[in-house]
Amino acid sequence: MPYFQSSCLSAARFQQVPPPRGSIKTPKDFLERIGRGCADLADKFKTWDELFTTTGKQMKDDMAIGTRQRRWILAWTAHYRCGIDPQFELLPLHGAQMSSTVSLNGLKGYLKSVLNNEDSRQIFFFLVLNLSYMFVQMIYGIWTNSLGLISDAIHMFFDCLALGVGLMAAIMSKWPTNNKFTYGYGRIETLSGFANGIFLVLISIFILFEALARLMDPPEMNTDRLLLVSFLGLLVNLVGIFAFNHGHIHHGHSHAHGHHNHHQEPNNQDMNNGKSHTNHHHHHDHHHHHHHEENANMQGIYLHILADTLGSVGVLVSTALIEQFGWTGFDPLASIFIASLIFTSVIPLLKNSARVLMLSLTDSLERKVKDGLNEILHIPGVLSFTMHRFWPSDVDCLIGSVHIQTTDDADASTITEKVTNLLKFHIENLNELTVQ
């Protein structure tokens, strides 16, 4: 349970502050009706976001209000973050009522937030379908003693875990910025994609070792109705393939940012004439645009579903061969082939997501950055540049900053504009640039 909700529920159980009543339209109305000392905070919080993103520690340190009033605000913070409108008419009077109301409404709020977003809605529905069929596949795989079916069911279990992680990442990535995460939660999707990639690698290794053991000692297998169960599994996975086919190339823009020193030597040009002067004109340029970029979270989920589909196909093929030739070794051979496909398909996801998490540039982007920085020195009035830092905010988006040293007679605003335009021309998808 998130910190804000657990703390609010705990506080609400002991809360006896009379709830605000009547027409409440603004944070000022809300604070005035809570009680002692709260009305003085009306000028501090102009919007609901400002009020309900304030932490309990901030309230304790910065607000001259009582503990009970602070707990009441925290309790309603749980409501607000779950999507419940604070413009209410009546609240429960007692702590027990408040606790149950927060729990029920919080659950409804989370479900609403899941269903309102296309990515999370698709993940949720397929998670339910996948989890249901996993039990069918596991039971029948044990009954028929099919490694292909059992391994596919085990993979479906990890696939359900991956879907759960992806679902949480899809929800969290939409959370607003706060004092602790000033760049937001967008990078959580990259972290989820990396975690799902690790899952897939472990699954492929497990299947490979089990298949090798069975290949050396092929077991007896019961293939009765195995084709039917495998075909039904294939249908389930095909639903996911068609539903998530767009997911690995996701249209949108992420606002998760970090800081990274891109290590390359500053290209300082020695000047015999003129005095070096640091440009103190600060320019922070946001170039928000929409483009197609890889969503590591959805790509990881897609690869899980693709691996499941390959598993179902492998079971179908191996079962048909076993019934035709009578050799059960086809089952582990199919498993080895599937494990190899899973392992090779996940490597690009791991490399790309790890690169973003490590704030590293690709070789092509590094060359573009170097070329762009070298072109800066051809701008009249620019002596040199230092403190150049460029890092990926997501798979295809860059953020950068650079310090420019200019001559005394150079116009700061003109230099800044030229540097910004030049770097954005040379560096593809440079989304945000700070020039100083």
Does residue 354 have a pLDDT over 80? Answer: yes
Q: Residue 293's closest CA among 252, 354, 338, 259?
A: 252
How many structural domains are present in the chain?
3
Assess whether 125 and 219 both reside in one domain. Answer: yes
For residue 35, the model assigns a pLDDT of 56
Assess whether 162 and 195 both reside in one domain. Answer: yes
Q: Residue 70's closest CA among 58, 88, 81, 87?
A: 58
Confidence of residue 298 (pLDDT cuts 50, 70, 90): confident
Instruction: Determine how many CB atoms are found less than 10 A away from the CB of residue 153.
Output: 24
Where a domain ends, among 328, 357, 386?
357
Assess whether 336 and 347 both reside in one domain. Answer: yes
Does residue 253 have a pLDDT over 50? Answer: no
For residue 266, the model assigns a pLDDT of 38
pLDDT tens track for 47-78: 766 666 655 555 555 555 556 666 666 666 65
pLDDT tens track for 264-294: 333 443 333 333 344 444 445 544 444 445 6
The partner residues of 401 in beta bridges, in order of sequence, read: 389, 434
Place of tokens 């030597």: 265
Assess whether 152 and 246 both reside in one domain. Answer: yes
Assess whether 260 and 248 both reside in one domain. Answer: no
Tokens of 10: 């705990």
Where a domain ends, among 75, 92, 115?
115
pLDDT tens track for 322-339: 888 888 888 888 889 888
Instruction: Determine how many CB atoms are found less than 10 A away from the CB of residue 45.
Output: 19
Confidence of residue 87 (pLDDT cuts 50, 70, 90): very low
Tokens of 375: 């072109």
Instruction: Determine how many CB atoms are found less than 10 A away from the CB of residue 83.
Output: 15
Assess whether 233 and 371 both reside in one domain. Answer: no
Assess whether 158 and 304 both reside in one domain. Answer: yes
Assess whether 310 and 324 both reside in one domain. Answer: yes
Please, are residues 189 and 296 in contact by the beta-carbon 8 Å criterion? Answer: yes
Place of tokens 């946001």: 286
Half-sphere exposure of residue 324: CA atoms within 13 angstroms, side-chain side: 9
Tokens of 73: 């605000």
Burial of 100 (0-12, 13-18, 19+ CB in 10 A): middle
Tokens of 15: 């809360």
Assess whether 171 and 238 both reside in one domain. Answer: yes
Poorest-confidence range of 7-16, 122-131, 171-180, 410-419? 7-16
Please, are residues 390 and 400 in contact by the beta-carbon 8 Å criterion? Answer: yes
* CA dist., res. 331 & res. 333, Å (int): 5
Tokens of 146: 């099919």
Element (H, E) at 213: helix 188-216
Assess whether 101 and 164 both reside in one domain. Answer: no
Assess whether 369 and 353 both reside in one domain. Answer: no
Assess whether 180 and 133 both reside in one domain. Answer: yes
* CA dist., res. 40 & res. 53, Å (int): 18
Tokens of 31: 């604070």
pLDDT tens track for 355-372: 888 888 888 888 888 888
Report CA Rg, the chain.
29
Place of tokens 């901030």: 58
Tell me the H-state helices in 26-146: 27-34, 48-52, 56-62, 67-81, 95-116, 118-144
Q: Which of 55-69, 174-188, 296-310 has the highest mean pLDDT?
A: 296-310
For residue 270, the model assigns a pLDDT of 39
Which domain, by its residues, includes 169? 117-252+293-357
Does residue 84 have a pLDDT over 70? Answer: no
- Is the pTM above the cut of 0.85? no
**What CATH number should be reported for the domain holding residue 195?**
1.20.1510.10
Place of tokens 């179908």: 316
Alpha-carbon distances, residue 206 vs 199, 220, 340, 344, 406 (angstroms):
11, 21, 11, 15, 60
